Amino acid sequence: MNTKIKNVNTNNERVGEVASIFNRNGVWYINMQIRGKQMRKSLKTSNKKEARARALALERELLKGDTVKTVESEPVLITDAIEALIQSCKTEELRPKTISKYRQVLKDVAEFAESRNLYKLEQLDVRFVDAYRQYRKQKGAKPKTIYTEVGVIRRLLLFAKTRRMLNEDPLDGLKLTEPKTEPQPFWNWDELELILESSSKVHRPVFTFLAETGLRIGELRWLTWDDVDLKQGLIHIRPKDNWTTKTGNVRSIPISDRARGVLQKQPRHSRWVFTARASPKYPQGDHQVSERRLLESLKRTLKKLKLKGHLHTFRHSFISRAIVQGIPEAIIRTWVGHVDHKTLQHYTHIANRESQAAMRRLNRPDA
C-alpha cells in the first residue's frame, strides 16, 4: 500500500454569506452551499482581490436564484468539509484543545486519503476506514487511539450530513468494538511517599500538590492565586483566559494540611501558583511550569525506584486512596470532576481487595 503522505491545504477564506474562495494551482475558485448542493467554480483569476469581487457578485446572483443552473454541482471535498466542521466547532466554543485534536486527526485523515487518490467526502467509506485503521496500526498507534480517531471521522461525516453535504452516511452500518480500558497504574501510600522523598527538590512541591488534590496537570499549571482561598480552605478549579477545564465545569477542592503547607511556602511573585525557575527567556521566573520538564523529572525518579507511572498517576493514586479510605463516590466526584465509570469500578475493586487484606490481618492468629 502506498503510504507516501502529501501536504494538504485546508485553508479557506469566507468572503460573503455563503461563499468562500480558495486557491488551487495559482487560480482562485468559489465554493458555496446553495439549496443543499455544493457549488464550485473557477473565478478565472490569479488576483485575490479580483477573486473576492467576482465571488461576491456571483453569490448575489445565486442567492437571487438567477443563475443557479449555470453552476455545476460537484461532490464535496474532504478538505472543505473539514474546514466547515472546524469553523462550526469554534462557533460552538468547544475547548481549544478539542478543536486542535480534531484538526490534527482530520489533517492526517485527509493526507492519508490523498495518498490513495481520494478527495471526495463520500469516499470516506467503510473500506477507507478499514485501510486507515490498518495504516495507523502499522504506525504503532494504540487500539484506543485508533478507536478515537475513527470517532472523529464519524463526527465529520455526521456533521456533513446535517449540513446536506452528503445525502447518505458512507459509514452507515460500521460497528466498532471499543477497546478494553487498560488498568491505569497507581501507587500505594508507601510508594507515593518514597516518590516524593526521592524527587527533585525543585519539583517536589508540584508532585506533592498533585498527590494531595487529585488535580490534572493542566489544572495545576493554570491555577492562580485568585483560585486559592486559604481562609475558606478551598481551591477553585475554573476556566480562565483561553483555558477551560476538561468538561468546562467549575469545582472546589478542600485544602488538606499538607497541601496548605505547600501553598504557604510558594512565592507570590506571579499570578500563577506554581512557576518554573528563571531562565534567559523568563528572567523573572514568573511563567507557568512545563509539563514536559515535570514529566522528565518524574520519570528519572521512577526509573531510580523501578516504579511505573506518569504525572496522571498522582490523580489515579489520589482517587484510589480516597476509595480505600471509604470516601463516598459522590464526594470524590465533586473533588476530582469527571471520572470514567470504568475507572471508578477499577478503583472500587482495589478498595475491596484492600478491605479483604485488612480482614485477613485482623483475623490472623497471634504467633
Give the CA diameter of the chain.
Answer: 98
Question: How would DSSP label each residue in 196-254?
Answer: HHHS-TTTHHHHHHHHHH---HHHHHT-BGGGEETTTTEEEE--BTTB--SSS--EEEE
Cβ neighbours around 148 below 10 Å, total = 15
Superfamily of domain 189-361: Intergrase catalytic core (1.10.443.10)
Q: Which helix (H) or strand (E) holds 34?
A: strand 27-34
Residue 69 is classified by DSSP as G
The bridge status of strand 27-34 relative to strand 37-42 is antiparallel
Instruction: Give whole-number Cα distances, 5 to 9, 26, 111, 117, 262, in Å.
Output: 13, 22, 6, 11, 49
76-180 fold: DNA polymerase; domain 1 (1.10.150)
* CB burial of residue 214 (10 Å; 0-12, 13-18, 19+): buried
Q: Which three cell numbers stand for residue 40?
A: 464550485
- The pTM of the whole model exceeds 0.75: no
The interaxial angle of helices 78-91 and 143-162, nearest 10 deg, is 90
Q: Could you list the pLDDT tens digit for every one of the 367 residues in the chain?
A: 444 444 444 467 888 778 888 888 888 888 887 666 777 888 888 888 888 888 888 888 777 654 444 444 578 999 999 999 999 998 887 878 889 999 999 999 999 999 999 999 999 999 999 999 999 999 999 999 999 999 999 999 999 988 888 888 899 888 888 887 766 778 988 999 999 999 999 999 999 999 999 999 999 999 999 999 999 999 999 988 778 877 778 899 999 999 999 999 999 989 999 998 877 777 777 889 999 999 999 999 999 999 999 999 999 899 888 888 888 888 988 998 877 666 666 666 666 666 666 666 666 655 4
The residues spanned by each domain of the chain are 1-74, 76-180, 189-361
In angstroms, the CA 57 to CA 275 distance is: 54
Q: Which of 5, 177, 9, 3 lies closest to 78, judged by CA? A: 9
Residue 39 β-bridge partners? 32, 73
In angstroms, the CA 277 to CA 170 distance is: 52
The type of residue at 153 is I
Q: Which three cell numbers stand for residue 199?
A: 524527587
Q: Which of 334, 346, 317 lies closest to 214, judged by CA? A: 317
Q: Which of 49, 160, 150 lies closest to 106, judged by CA? A: 150
Q: In sequence order, which residues have a C-beta less than 8 Å from that of residue 240 and are 6 or more positions away? A: 222, 224
In angstroms, the CA 130 to CA 213 distance is: 42
290 three-state secondary structure: coil
Structure-derived torsion over alpha carbons of residues 299, 302, 307, 308, reported in degrees to the nearest 10: -20
In angstroms, the CA 93 to CA 116 distance is: 34
Q: In sequence order, which residues have a C-beta less than 8 Å from that of residue 295 and are 6 or more positions away? A: 310, 311
